[in-house]
Amino acid sequence: MSHHTPAKRRGDRKAAVGNVGRPPVGWAVPGILFFAVFAIVPLAIAVYLSFCEWDGLNSPTPTGLDNWTRLFKDSEFGQAAWLSLLLTTISWAFQTPVALLLGVWAAGRQRSRAVLSAIFFIPLLLSTTAIAMLFHALLDPNFGVIKEIGPWIGVDPNVMGSSTGALLMVAFVGGWQFMPFHTLIYQGGARQIPEVLYQAASIDGAGMVRQFFHITLPQLRHTMTTSSVLMIVGSLTYFDTVLIMTKGGPGTDTTILPYLMYRTGFQTYDLGYAAAIATALVVVATGLSLILVRFSGFGSMRSTREGM
Residue list 38-77, contact with other proteins (CB under 8 A): 38-43, 45-46, 49, 56
Q: Tell me if 295 contacts other proteins by CB under 8 A.
A: no
Q: Tell me if 169 contacts other proteins by CB under 8 A.
A: no
The length of the chain is: 308
* Residue span binding other proteins (CB under 8 A) among the ranges 73-81, 87-95, 161-169, 190-198: 190-198
| Minimum gap (Å) between residue 25 Cβ and other proteins | 5
Q: How many residues line the site for other proteins (CB under 8 A)?
A: 121
Q: Tell me if 281 contacts other proteins by CB under 8 A.
A: yes
The one among 145, 200, 217, 291 contacting other proteins by CB under 8 A: 145
How far, in Å, are 91, 122, 267, 295, 303 from residue 133 at the CA level? 19, 16, 21, 37, 41
Contact yes or no for 100/224 (Cβ under 8 A): yes
> In whole angstroms, what is the distance from residue 121 CA to residue 103 CA?
12
* Residue span binding other proteins (CB under 8 A) among the ranges 61-69, 75-83, 86-94, 285-293: 285-293
Q: Please report how the helices 221-236 and 163-191 are oriented relative to each other, as an axis angle in degrees rounded to 10.
A: 150
Contacts of 244 (CB under 8 A, 6+ apart): 129, 132, 133, 136
Give the nearer residue to other proteins in terms of CB position, either 61 or 127. 127
State the amino acid at position 108 in one-letter form. Answer: G
| Minimum gap (Å) between residue 105 Cβ and other proteins | 4
Output b/e per residue, 54-77; b: 16+ Cβ within 10 A: beeeeebeebeebbbeebeebeeb
Contact yes or no for 60/272 (Cβ under 8 A): yes
Q: Tell me if 17 contacts other proteins by CB under 8 A.
A: yes
Q: Tell me if 1 contacts other proteins by CB under 8 A.
A: yes
Angle at 278 between CA 276 and CA 284, to 5 degrees: 105
DSSP lists the bridge partners of residue 61 as 53
| Minimum gap (Å) between residue 83 Cβ and other proteins | 15
| Minimum gap (Å) between residue 177 Cβ and other proteins | 10
| Minimum gap (Å) between residue 294 Cβ and other proteins | 13
The one among 37, 93, 200, 217 contacting other proteins by CB under 8 A: 37
Contact yes or no for 275/46 (Cβ under 8 A): yes
The one among 81, 135, 160, 255 contacting other proteins by CB under 8 A: 135
The one among 251, 282, 294, 297 contacting other proteins by CB under 8 A: 282
Q: Tell me if 191 contacts other proteins by CB under 8 A.
A: yes
Contact yes or no for 73/295 (Cβ under 8 A): no
Binding to other proteins (CB under 8 A) within 221-280 occurs at 222-223, 226-227, 229-230, 233, 236-237, 239-240, 244, 257-258, 261-262, 265-266, 271, 274-275, 278-279
Given 3-state DSSP classes, what are the helix, strand and coil percentages for the chain, each rounded to the nearest 5?
70, 0, 25
